[in-house]
Chain A
Amino acid sequence: MFIAIGFMLLGGIFGFVLRKKEFRNISKIIILLIWLLLFILGLEVGSNPEIISGLANIGVEALIITLAAVFGSAVAALLLWKHINNKRKGLHEE
């Protein structure tokens, strides 16, 4: 399972060693691979009748998870923002 991450690290090392060299087409290759992989994901979804018939439920589930993730991260950002601003105020009072 961690093979894919291994490939990313390998790429990172490769890119760092060869950082004098420019890889101009790399972002195009990335986009093409993403298109290919999402097309394949679509193929799998489309050929699976259970998922097609449950698409409405899947959509609702996805929305609920998103709302939870967005709300959770927004609250965490608010706490950090308040923490940083309080410290700033404290410094001024001293």
Chain B
Amino acid sequence: MKSSLIIVSFFALGVFFGHFEIIPLSVVDNDISFYALCCLMFCVGLSLGNDSNTLRRFTRIDPRFYLLPVATIVGTLLGCAIIGFLLPGRSVIEFMAVGSGFGYYSLSSIFITEYKGVELGTIALLSNILREIMALLLAPLFVKYFGKLAPISVGGATTMDTTLPIILKFSGKEFAVISVFHGFILDLSVPVLVTIFSSI
């Protein structure tokens, strides 16, 4: 929760600086953000590939739980598609691009800004922060009405770090490996799916 507050304050600071023109916009107009994004992606890949535990841990899961990331992805995209179909103004694909952030607000908003513009990027940031907050605050409700896997699905890409403690508390400790596995797969799927929906 603390780290998300810091991240939001960096965004807010940027809004403030931009609004009062404290920093010249030429900083934004050249490609700094794209180069930084490529560096970021390289580092994310490096940290995943470098962790020899991540791959070893996944061999000990009940095979049926491998379907949970698929359920999360299909459920999320279906929900976004339906609401995008009902609401006027924006295309279904744009709703699905925002939804495929799966709570990974930093990466998804950066990607969508790069490919689809600032407005949808901001929507992606807010929407995916809200998803993480809901996963953190409403976990007991999800367990009660949607079963013990629901907090993991709602947590999306955050279930291997930020929301993991909450999930273990309300679903049970036996869900630790499933939750980490789920977060790992969703983490990987965010850049891929967001790029796909941004380029259709």
In the complex, the answer to whether A78 meets B50 with C-beta atoms within 8 Å is no
CB distance from B166 to the nearest CB of A (A): 15
Q: How far is the CA of A78 from the CA of B74 in the complex (A)?
A: 13
**Residue of B at shortest CB range from A37?**
B110
CB distance from B173 to the nearest CB of A (A): 17
Docked complex: A53-86 residues within 8 A CB-CB of B? 54, 58-59, 61-84
In the complex, the answer to whether B49 meets A43 with C-beta atoms within 8 Å is no
**Contacts between the two chains (Cβ within 8 Å), count:** 296
Q: How far is the CA of A34 from the CA of B191 in the complex (A)?
A: 14
In the complex, the answer to whether A47 meets B79 with C-beta atoms within 8 Å is no
Give how many A residues have a beta carbon under 8 Å from the other chain's beta carbons: 72
Chain A 12-53 interface mask (CB, 8 Å, partner B; 1/0): 111110110111001101110111111111111111101110
In the complex, the answer to whether A19 meets B49 with C-beta atoms within 8 Å is yes
Q: How far is the CA of A10 from the CA of B42 in the complex (A)?
A: 7
In the complex, the answer to whether A14 meets B49 with C-beta atoms within 8 Å is yes
SS class of chain A's interface: helix, strand, loop or mixed?
A: helix
Q: Write out the residue numbers on chain A whose beta carbons fall within 8 Å of the beta carbon of B65.
A: 84
Q: Chain B residues in contact with chain A, CB under 8 A?
A: 3, 6-7, 10-21, 23, 25, 27-28, 32-33, 36-52, 64-65, 67-68, 71-72, 74-80, 82-84, 87, 90, 95, 98-99, 102, 106-107, 109-111, 113-115, 118-119, 121-128, 130-131, 134-135, 142, 145-150, 152-154, 156, 191-192, 195, 198-199
Q: Chain A residues in contact with chain B, CB under 8 A?
A: 1-5, 7-16, 18-19, 21-23, 26-27, 29-31, 33-48, 50-52, 54, 58-59, 61-84, 87
